[in-house]
Chain A
Amino acid sequence: MALLSNTATLLAKELRTEFRSRELLTTTVVFILVVLILFSFAISPTTEESREFGPGLLWLAILFAASLMLQPCFLREQANDTLSSLRLAVSDPFAIFLAKLIANTLFLLVTEILMLPLFAAFYNIPVLPQLHYLLLVLFLGSLGVSIAGTALSAISAQARMRELLLPLLLLPLLTPVLVVSATVSVSLLDREPVVQWKGIAFLAIFDFIFLTALWLFGEYLLEE
């Protein structure tokens, strides 16, 4: 109960801070937009090529944008040592992670939902027919990125080469999520769409395992 109430309080703080500054949302939206436009004009893909390569490109843009977004996640807590005051205040340190990863997932999802119509327009791919499945893949993929990214952000924030460390750890770790999310998305956006339930199950299991690991060992990541 205390975990849920602490998480809700911290999540409200994360959202208030972000919607006041709009730093993270602006960065990710602009980044994904630039990548999508740039590749759309550079490659000028046909509809078939778009169906084949578009989803992979979208996920690559999401992954890089997420690594930008996750960087300040714990770094912001270092400026005034607010991480210490949070650790003193909360009854379960997992609440700190839970609030941050829910906030990160929400920010990523908002960005993706904003970008989806533009992606459909630039790459001439109709996303509406399979939108519900696509949103499920985006949710599970984004959750995986956020869980692993939030944990690594806590580690890298205390390291010396923190700006370099997060992408260095994050990208290899998230390769399976990226590959599976892109593959499932390609199948969904195909001329004859197929729902790859195995891929969706893989994403759900990845999220569950990493969330459990964070719950069990997260406290140690916050220690000085």
Chain B
Amino acid sequence: MAFLTLPPTGLRFDNIDKRYGGLYALRRVSLEVSPGECLVLAGRNGSGKTTLLRIAARIVRPTAGKLSFPGSSSEADTNGRPGYVAHTTMVYDELTAEENLVLFAKLQNVPQPATRAEELLREVGLYDRRSSAVRTFSRGMRQRIAIARALIHRPSVLLFDEPATGLDPIGISWLAKTLGDVHRSGCTVVMSLHGESEISSLATRAIQLDAGSVVADTSSGASLRSILSFGGA
């Protein structure tokens, strides 16, 4: 399995605030995600899910508070950097699938970047299209290459922002299986979702955000389903 990672890392948010001008996107969010956990973030549009994920990915700097990765060997360690799948593919349309993966593998000092890229292309079912430019890909294929890019450096934390958006039922099944494999390999997974789906069944814990604050946090079956089913309302 190409997804195997180093010993898993957790995530800790301490009193995180994020403000855009006068508007709070996140307000005093404190949250600890244990290593190997699969956490689902639920909540309405604008509740702060994407901001929280982008802070966890270290793309956005919080206005206040601290983010840490308990268990991570070093901040500079490549595997300590989270893998992040956003709404967009975060890869170059004009490059081929293989060129994109080799590029991101090289940037992260992955040993034998071409071999690693080939391994992942097979894993996500894009090996036959490895020489095609990403701009020629369908929505499902684009999501696959986005996931491959996020996994290229064998991260110990994976962050997914509404990974099922725009996928057909077959794509969602594939994604659920892939995410399951990633999670079983020991990766800590944090994803935002709208409503219950095949993917949400992987969740071991769910939190609900509302207006930038955590309003519910549960690991028990019934409450978890309740959050997942109403979270996207």
Query: Which A residues have a C-beta under 8 Å from some C-beta of B?
Result: 2, 5-6, 9-10, 13, 16-17, 20-21, 79-82, 84-91, 223-224
Contact = CB atoms under 8 A, between A and B. Distances in A.
B61 A88 contact: no
Most central of A20, A223, A224 by chain B CB within 10 Å: A224
Contacts of A91: 76
A147 B35 CA distance: 43
A63 B170 CA distance: 52
Interface string B96-107: 000100011011
Contacts of A9: 103, 106-107
Nearest to B87: A81
A87 B88 CA distance: 15
A91 B107 CA distance: 8
11 contacts: A16-B95, A16-B99, A79-B93, A80-B90, A81-B88, A85-B91, A87-B59, A88-B58, A89-B107, A90-B107, A224-B59
Contacts of B81: 88-89
Contacts of B194: none
B216 to A, nearest CB: 28
Contact of A81 (B90, B95, B99, B103): B90
Given A9-B107, A17-B94, A88 B88 contact: no
A90 B88 CA distance: 19
B92 A20 contact: no
B108 interface: yes
A85 B153 CA distance: 12
B60 interface: yes
Contact residues of A: prevailing secondary structure: helix
A17 B92 contact: yes
Contacts of B87: 81
Given A2-B109, A16-B95, A224-B59, A84 B90 contact: yes
B109 A80 contact: no
B84 interface: yes
A190 B104 CA distance: 50
B114 to A, nearest CB: 13
Nearest to A6: B107
A81 B57 CA distance: 13
Nearest to A91: B76
